[in-house]
Structure 1
Amino acid sequence: MMKKPLASLVFVALLSLTACKKTANTASEPTTIDSTQVTRTVSGMYEGVLPCADCPGIETSLAFNNDATVSKTILYQDRDKTSETEKGNWKLNGPYVEVIFADNQKEFYLIKTDSTIAVLDQDKKEVQSELASHYILSKEKPLDPKTLTGNYIQGEVGKGYYQTLTLTNTANNEFDVAVTFKAATQKGCEFKGKGVLVNNRIEINLKDSNPDLKAIMTISFEDKIATVSTSKFNERYDLMYFCGGGGTLGGDYLKK
């Protein structure tokens, strides 16, 4: 009668010993974080409209690339169609994304979810007012460069003067950009250059075409409309350099 309880005690002891070994083995294995995976999760393009004191809002786009570079593009609504891009580098610092631009200016963002980040102040604090939700940027799918390839027309074909903007996606986010014209006169706009798709806008440095020019020509997209402008409003006159008769590369072009 005593053998059965003894066997039971031995069995329980073995179970306890086995459990202790498993616990010890589990505790001895360090918990590691795959920094590469975290980087890929944060990487992407984020967009939102930040509050503005004297305009409806500031359209803001941030692209965190896997090579630790970052591009930030802002556009003030209801002012003009110019958008300005800053470039720099980014790194993870705990739950924060720290951005350092070329002028050593720093910005901080808090990782909220896999698809949202919050804009922070210089003390790494979130906005606590009723406008807090307006300081959240959401991850968005970038435009497919291949879908932007094609001809865009300014004016009416066959009715006097019209310009054609031709975009050709050559590799990844790179483009050949050309503007030609058709008219009875000999004066019009002609341009050829290289552009890069950044935050859903194509940017072309006009200095590459003429060292005396300063402007960055930008091409933004909405539905079938491509809008040609410059990154800074006061440099828009550089778009006239390539045109005769007072014309300009700037304006809206409709995709055909």
Structure 2
Amino acid sequence: MKKTIILAVAVIAAMFVVSCNGNKTTGQKTDTDSLSCVESDSLQADGIAIESIAGTYEGTLPAADCPGIKTVLTLNSDSTYQYAADYIDRKDGHDEASGIFKVSANHVIEIIRPSSGEASYYKVKDDNSLIMTDSLGNEPEGEMAKHYVLTKKN
């Protein structure tokens, strides 16, 4: 059990080291992907109506080398997303991306950055929150778990 917890913490820590040191942009550059229309029969994924999770989610995620990452993630009902992150106390610490998201098994949302193919994962916790996870939907555990939640704004 201890090995499993230590492994999960190590994986989550590695994800955040990469996210803090990854693709940061200076200024207002946005990664975009050409988007096509989504047919109405694809608006349901893994038993979740895309319309029910559509909205803007905000929160401050933990970071390995700065006080946190103010994150805004907007999921649209046509399976597109917009992502913006501001790394607290970091000069030139603004990052933006947009593209298409997928909902996979266990209600895990996969956000793929079009320019690099890098993926981030968020699990639908309830109607008003997402939690950052690994690709399998494993949630962070322990005291820090509550800091990986993005809350839906009305």
TM-score by length of 1: 0.39
Equivalent residue in structure 2 for 1:48, among 41, 46, 59 = 59
- Counterpart Cα distance in 1 of 2:112 and 2:66: 27
Equivalenced residues, count? 108
Separation in 2 of the partners of 1:105 and 1:52? 17
Code of the residue aligned with 2:133 in structure 1: it is L
Map of 1:99 onto structure 2 = 111
Alignment map for 1:141-220 (pairs within 5 Å): 141=154
**Paired residue secondary structure (2:135):** coil
Q: Please tell me the root mean square deviation across aligned C-alpha atoms, in Å.
A: 2.1
Q: Tell me the CA shift for residue 35 of structure 1.
A: 2.4
Partners in 2 of 1:107 and 1:83 — Cα distance?
A: 17
Partners of 2:68 and 2:129 lie apart in 1 by 19
Closer, same or farther in 2 for the Cα pair 1:55/1:82, shift >3 Å?
A: closer
Distance in 1, Cα, partners of 2:113 & 2:89: 27
Could you tell me which amino acid in structure 2 is paired with residue 101 of structure 1? Answer: R
Equivalence for 1:121: 134
What is the match of residue 134 of structure 1? Answer: 147
Matches within 5 A, 1:66-85: 66-80=77-91, 83-85=94-96
Any stretches of 5+ residues in structure 2 without a counterpart? 1-42
Deviation of 1:115 after TM superposition, in Å, equals 0.4
Matched letter for residue 40 of structure 1: E
Q: How far off is 1:81 after superposition? A: 6.8
Q: In structure 2, what is the Cα distance between the partners aligned to 1:107 and 1:52?
A: 15
Which structure's relative contact order is higher, taking Cα pairs within 8 Å and 6+ residues apart? Answer: 2
SS of the aligned residue for 1:53 comes to: coil
Rg bigger for which structure? 1
The Cα shift of 1:92 comes to: 1.8
Matches within 5 A, 1:222-241: none
State the shift of 1:79 in Å: 2.2
TM-score scaled by structure 2?
0.63
Extract structure 1 runs of 4+ deviating beyond 3 A.
none
Residue in 2 that maps onto 1:35: 44
Q: Distance in 2 between matches of 1:123 and 1:63?
A: 22
Tell me, what secondary structure is at the counterpart of 2:49?
Answer: helix
1:39 to partner: Cα distance: 0.7
Unaligned runs of 5+ residues in structure 1 are 1-33, 142-256
Q: Is 1:59 aligned to 2:103, yes or no?
A: no
User: In structure 1, what is the equivalent of residue 123 of structure 2?
Assistant: 110
Give the secondary-structure state (helix, strand or coil) at the position aligned to 1:112.
Answer: strand
TM-superposition CA deviations, 1:177-218 (whole Å, max 9, x none): xxxxxxxxxxxxxxxxxxxxxxxxxxxxxxxxxxxxxxxxxx
Cα distance in 2, alignment partners of residues 35 and 70 from structure 1: 16
Q: Could you tell me how far 1:53 is from its partner in structure 2?
A: 2.2
Quick one: distance in 1 between partners of 2:63 and 2:110?
23
Residue of structure 2 aligned with 1:89, choices 75, 94, 100: 100
* Alpha-carbon offset, residue 119 of structure 1: 0.3
